[in-house]
Amino acid sequence: MSETRVYKCPAKVNLSLSVGAPRADGMHPICSWMVQVSLYDDLIIRRGQGVTESTFDIGWAEDAPQPTPIDWPVHKDLIAKAHALMEESVGRPLPVHATLRKRTPVGGGLGGGSSDGAMMLKALDDVFGLGVPMGTMLELASKLGSDVAFFIGPPSAIVSGFGELITPMPVSGTMELTLILPPLTCNTGAVYREFDAMGEITELRDAVVGDEPFNDLAKAACVVEPRLAALRLRLHETLGVPVYITGSGAAMFTTCHVDLDKIDVPAVHVHTL
């Protein structure tokens, strides 16, 4: 029997996110300090023997804090897309039986799908001993989505351009965070359209400025999903600490561990990797 290998796919938090004016094609340049955190999806890979086709099984882990319906076709999931892209790149079948057990909520701005896709690329390189150069891995990741390349590299980095430029940014020690995972989602496209409509910021800022996290998309996310604004304010008043939105929302975080009993939506303590 083929060996089964388990790979951990970490979520991410944007400690800062600066968004520039869109290009003619609507794409926005960013400058963001992203960190990987200890909330993981599990990607379980077994190499196929005597077959050329692969199988994919996607579901929630038993301890997932905020499971929702998996209502998209398997072939549209980023693990399947990453697998197809790697097969195309190396020019031969890479048969695997892949099982994904998710914990990172969908539509929270935590990069769960991007992390899964990046880990599939790395897992295939590992399982089949492909020896794909780092530059090629980053190119493949960028084809899958703007956040995927970040998960190929170091766990803390400044991500700029359109997600393809990765500069390591080591964290001093381990940061303790609390992730707040409300039963809300923010459509990324809608948030960016609202951001453009606001017309407040047109120039990128340095992603590491001052001591406080910032997010240029936070206000737009709260317009797109007004319940997010109300919940954020209520949690700030209850917890007595700032509550930040990550990515395009709707997940939030604090930069410390807080009493989970004071939070009436799913929340987990995590740390930076």
User: Which residue, among 164, 110, 160, 165, has the nearest Cα to 140 in the 3D structure?
Assistant: 164
Strands 96-102 and 30-47: antiparallel
Q: What is the rounded CA–CA span in Å between residue 272 and residue 77?
A: 26
Omega before 21 within 30 of 0, i.e. cis = no
Q: 247 — alpha (psi -120 to 50), left (phi > 0) or beta?
A: left
- The answer to whether residue 216 is catalytic is no
User: Which residue, among 35, 41, 40, 38, has the nearest Cα to 12 in the 3D structure?
Assistant: 35
- The answer to whether residue 12 is catalytic is yes
Q: Which residues contact 97 (CB under 8 A, 6 or more apart)?
A: 45, 46, 48, 54, 55, 57
41, 77, 147, 216: the active-site residue: 147
12, 81, 102, 122: the active-site residue: 12
Provide the annotated active-site residues: 12, 147
